[in-house]
Structure 1
């Protein structure tokens, strides 16, 4: 049976308001999907999940495989069942905004959820990480993201993992597109901020109609004041 569930752990609004300590294990995440993105506990690494492996991209840019016992504070995941395939090759250079516009023209409706896998060679890739935090947490994502560590590379082959949420998701999740990347040689990864590619990009798309989110069952979430609002305005 095709699994049409989009799994989401810890609402975005909680993540924005400094809930950086939770208890979703990598082992449990693997039961929810084979493709995903998110962040490890204490923001100790961006998470990129491909083919059932949850990679950790730390603030120094180093990449390792997450152990089953490692914990994740925020995640989007799904079992990827490719329903639509396109090739981006008609423009001299593709960047992140052109990718988004092509995806919006391709998806059947903006009212559903989608998972993407984009493979190819990128002339330039710019990714962002996050700095590990220690309690008590003083700064939220509105401060941490604009000051995030940056990782860049040229002529890099790899995979972009992405998700799309309709605007009606509100503060539960990131509205629109959210992309993470990992190179084939596992030397570059993180949140996709920008890229350029003059090569063919192979894009797989999977529509999801079942949305399942789970809240952290801990005192941090129980006591958090959900006062700040923050959505990605820029990549």
Structure 2
């Protein structure tokens, strides 16, 4: 198997919904599965973005921190970079960007990643404040978040796409994290206007999902699947 065709995910988005927020993989372990990625720390401690093997955490104060190998996460995605030239973009919003990359990638039925570097005339990100045990639900944590805005900022947007049929296992549709070149803003992307930028594409034929079977809380939890999709839409989209 060509590892550059594989996207690796630890945990499921569904396990965050009821508040299973314990860290069950370390950053050191995650980096053995990729040099690009996104995720969140234990207790949803910040928004993570891995660029060229360097893991960054944007915390709820807006500070950007380098992540140590022993930092743990309940949910994270990673892959080894093999991006190919894709499209140049000008004057585009987040919603139109997502439509454009899905249409032009011709990969709606599989997983792919897009990395976009450019100048953003506006960008809005969010970072959830770290929770402590007993952990709240995903929707509850989304109500305790910091929102950051910037204008005329250069940076990198890392977007993962998952087919909607996988919603719950992953984030169905697009899921983007951002980091400014000057580290002045970052996090989970809520909205943007891209002035101009260049996107590269990497399509995956294999989705590897690693489950935290040594975590007793996860193994004994009874999931209510009827609530999962609605909670994900409210908290993540």
Flag the structure with higher helix content: 2
Match of 2:94 in 1: 96
Q: 2:181 pairs with 184, 205, 212, which one?
A: 184
Partner of 2:20: 19
Does the 8 Å CA contact 1:118/1:160 hold for their aligned counterparts?
yes
Structure 1 spans left out of the alignment, 5+ residues? none
- How far off is 1:232 after superposition? 2.9
2:129–2:144 CA contact under 8 A, matched in 1: no
Task: Quote the RMSD (CA, aligned, Å).
Answer: 1.5
Find runs of 4+ consecutive structure 1 residues off by over 2 angstroms.
230-235
Match of 1:131 in 2: 129
Indicate which of 203, 216, 221 corresponds to 1:207.
Answer: 203
Pick closer, same or farther for the CA change 1:146–1:107 going to 2, 3 Å: farther
Q: 1 CA distance for matches of 2:154 and 2:207?
A: 31
- Is the Cα contact below 8 Å between 1:35 and 1:50 reproduced in 2? yes
For residues 48 and 3 of structure 2, the distance between their equivalents in structure 1, rounded to whole angstroms, comes to: 25
Any unmatched runs of 5+ in structure 2? Answer: none
Question: How many Å apart are 1:149 and its aligned residue?
Answer: 1.1
**Aligned 8 A contact 2:107 2:203 in 1:** no
The structure-2 alpha-carbon separation of the partners of 1:232 and 1:35, relative to structure 1 and needing over 3 Å to count, comes to farther
Q: How far apart are 1:108 and its partner, in Å? A: 1.9
Encode CA deviations 1:159-216: one digit per residue, 9 max, x unaligned.
Answer: 0111000011132111000000001111210000001122x21101100011101111
Structure 2 counterpart SS, 1:43? coil
Deviation of 1:96 (Å): 0.2
The reply on whether 1:117 has 2:112 as its aligned counterpart is no
With over 3 angstroms needed to count, the CA separation of the structure-2 counterparts of 1:136 and 1:124, relative to structure 1, is same
Tell me the CA shift for residue 22 of structure 1. Answer: 2.2
Matched residue of 1:38: which SS? strand
User: Which of residues 219, 223, 232 in structure 2 aligns to 1:222?
Assistant: 219
TM, length-normalised to structure 1 = 0.93
C-alpha distance in 2 between matches for 1:71 and 1:65: 13
Of 137, 152, 155, the match for 1:155:
152
For 1:109 and 1:70, the matched residues in 2 are separated by 33
**Count of aligned pairs between the two proteins:** 230
Per the alignment, residue 64 of structure 2 pairs with: 63
Q: TM-score, normalised by structure 2?
A: 0.92
